[in-house]
A = this chain, B = another copy of it.
Amino acid sequence: MPKTDIARRVYNHTWKLDPIIRSLLDTDFYKLLMLQMIWGLYPKVDATFSLINRATTVRLADELDEQELREQLDHARTLRFSKKEMIWLGGNNFYGRKQIFEPEFLAWLEDFRLPEYELSRRDGQFELTFHGPWMYTTMWEIPALAIINELRSRSALKAFGPFALDVLYARAKARMWAKTERLKKLPGILISDFGTRRRHSFLWQRWCVEALKEGIGEAFTGTSNVLLAMDSDLEALGTNAHELPMVLAALADSDEALRQAPYRVLEDWQRYYGGNLLIVLPDAFGTAAFLRDAPDWVADWTGFRPDSAPPIEGGERILSWWREKGKDPKKKLLIFSDGLEVDTIIETYRHFEGKVRMSFGWGTNLTNDFEDCAPTPTGGLDAISLVCKVSEANGRPAVKLSDNPAKATGDPREIARYLKIFGGKGRVEQLVKV
């Protein structure tokens, strides 16, 4: 009986690549929901996505090897949806609905591959952009972020020997488990994994999802990661993202059309999805402006996902608005997903308990919390605020204002124009950690 499998050992030490992205399903579910709509309604729109590292002090291009990054991106481009994956997408129920994806869309998806990328370096940062049809470029957001974040983890982990790595993961696991022990004490709380893009690594995200399953049981409602949902028989969860209003706003030919863009997104969305998928993401150009100008039917939607205001303040604003519109917040849903950690989850839960239905989409602090886990200090494992945002649509600049000016993206002159139209009311600068 050999103690070491020689063939495997030889395979291991001749390894060329340990791929970070191994499946096109290793993405967030909302990308597929949005993709179907983009494919259906905006197949001719071009959209450019660009990497933005808000943590400018972290010089990514100095920390990471460009060649390794290219190899990972190139590998992701070789992927296709497998037969098993296609069958699952077509046959699984999502949000209680059969066949959420149309057969024609799935037929098109069968041939999908990630489009080309452009990569250069400037001032210690990577300039990574994806040009082309929106219905292709949109799919790069999550794998591009996951690749860079995991390369960054790997780079930091190179400093450690096997024992130190053992301690590091033991501590991270002990910490994660302690989080589940705090959360399971909150009756009726609902938590889901939204941590794909910022994860420490794929395997670590999988471990965290397992920890939630084991640790909080029924309170764990599912994961945004489609691959993990499929492999672990979990609910795939997600709604929609800022890219929808951003692209439609960029395409708007008049100030009035720009003002209406956020609501047009909702109309488009409603043509495809209903029920629990009718979640408003209100803050692309400021929640105050969104609520001020919103048609009454927006109040009929199931809920809101406040994504850049402080959760209690932002949530209360939406509750007031529902009440103004004659709706009972207790029948409505708030999905919190911005910079959550256990303390903010508990505080928010306690504040809104009994007032509104709520759910927590837990991201970075779930899947990438390694602060002080390393036996010797390293900053390389601290999560950074890295995003991949739409920067242009059909050649026009795209803009996000957000409730938090620190999260705004786009050309400064365009931002000024948007601010004139939407106003800056209620926008409060907050430190963006992740």
A interface, CB within 8 angstroms of B: 1-2, 5, 7-8, 11, 163-164, 166-167, 169-175, 177, 210-211, 214-215, 375
Contacts and interface: CB of A to CB of B under 8 A. Distances in A.
A167 B173 contact: yes
Contacts of A173: 166-167, 170-171, 174
B375 A177 contact: yes
Given A173-B170, A177-B170, A214 B1 contact: no
A277 B5 CA distance: 45
Contact of A169 (B170, B210, B214): B170
Contacts of A2: 5
A164 B214 contact: yes
A420 B71 CA distance: 83
Contacts of A7: 1
Copies of this chain in its oligomeric complex: 2
Contact of A163 (B8, B171, B214, B375): B214
Given A5-B5, A11-B1, A214-B375, A171 B167 contact: no
Most chain B CB within a 10 A radius of its CB, from A7, A170, A175: A170
A211 B167 contact: yes
Contacts of A171: 170, 173-174, 177
28 contacts: A1-B7, A1-B8, A1-B11, A2-B5, A5-B5, A5-B8, A163-B210, A163-B211, A163-B214, A164-B214, A167-B174, A167-B214, A169-B170, A170-B170, A170-B171, A170-B172, A170-B173, A170-B174, A170-B177, A171-B173, A171-B174, A171-B177, A173-B174, A174-B174, A174-B175, A177-B375, A214-B375, A215-B375
A166 B214 CA distance: 12
A96 to B, nearest CB: 28
A7 B8 CA distance: 14
Nearest to A161: B214
Contacts of A5: 2, 5, 8
Nearest to A167: B177
Contacts of A172: 170
A211 B170 CA distance: 12
A120 B267 CA distance: 80
A178 to B, nearest CB: 9
A164 B210 CA distance: 10
Nearest to A12: B1
A257 B350 CA distance: 75
A203 to B, nearest CB: 13
A167 B180 CA distance: 12
A16 to B, nearest CB: 14
